[in-house]
Amino acid sequence: MNIDLAAFRLNALASLTASNSSGTNTSRSGTDFLNTLLDAKRALVSVSGSNSGSAASALGALTGTGGGLSQLESVLSRLEASNSTFMRNYSARVAEIGDEATVLAQLRERMSTLGTASQSLGALDTTASDADIKATLRDFLTRYNQWDTEFDPYFEDGALLDDNQAGEVARFSLRREVGSIFNGAGKGGYELGLTDMGVSFSKDGQLQLDEAAFDAALAGDRKAALQTLANVAKGFGDAARVLASDGHLLDRRIDNAERAVAWAADNQNKVDAEFGPGAVSARIRAALD
């Protein structure tokens, strides 16, 4: 076994498990593994020296004779334990990446659907009754809140998408469009957009409607109210379409995650051969044979 090569591979693969979604750092196990590999190298040198270069004698040291036996047994035990820890972390990280790809794909799909649903606000005209206008707005708010409720748990501290840039950008962008003053000022709508029509965010990120304020906005300037809703429909719909488009940040993150999982599946046998149960002992025996 080429100890230097094994150390290099471990150092590279350990980057996959440097940290997990809960923030637990696993670099210590990688460092311990590298130290153990160095011990293995020294042990092999000791065995080779004590057995005058004889492959048969060196192999015997692994199976019960020779001055380096106790040291080798200790090293092998530590290497196998380190391998076991590495494989658990590696497998968990691969599974986590797969889950990330799945949830981000769902987020993208729901976001696209929500963008399409927002267009009902832009379809309202002066012939619509106050009740129809309010019902259409309520339907959009309900759909948005359902979307937010579905994915909010994934963004909590330590959750799957905590600090996930692609997902955070998508959520922030849609939230910004709903509350943007640019949906009103300068575009024929109410100055502060939906805020002037009684729509606001609760502390937990849910949209809520003050019906008295909404009714007053319709009564005060019906044309501005309808224009505000149309502006929101365009701004929100455009944002959702861009965020869900091919080649955008979210799409690239999903693609990278899916390719990582595919690579892991294609190379699982190689990883098992390098770090699976008994791999270290088998490789050392092969090197001494």
> In the chain, how many domains are there?
2
Residues 39 and 124 in one domain: no
Is residue 106 included in any domain, yes or no?
A: no
Residues 281 and 162 in one domain: no
Residues 77 and 169 in one domain: no
Range with the poorest average pLDDT among 20-29, 33-42, 171-180, 275-284: 20-29
Is residue 209 included in any domain, yes or no?
A: yes
Q: Which domain holds residue 11?
A: 3-97+266-288
**pLDDT band of 288, cuts 50, 70, 90:** low
Residues 63 and 17 in one domain: yes
pLDDT 10s digits, 141-162: 999 999 999 999 999 999 999 9
Is residue 250 included in any domain, yes or no?
A: no
Is residue 257 included in any domain, yes or no?
A: no
Q: How many other CB atoms are found less than 10 A from the CB of residue 4? A: 11
Is residue 108 included in any domain, yes or no?
A: no
Is residue 107 included in any domain, yes or no?
A: no
Residues 150 and 73 in one domain: no
Mean of all residue pLDDT scores within the chain: 82
Q: Where are the beta strands (DSSP E) in the chain?
A: 199-201, 207-209
Checking if the pLDDT of 2 tops 50, the result is: no
Which whole-number Å values give the CA distances from 79 to 8, 29, 119, 234, 254, in the listed order?
Answer: 15, 11, 60, 60, 35
Residues 48 and 15 in one domain: yes
pTM of the model: 0.75
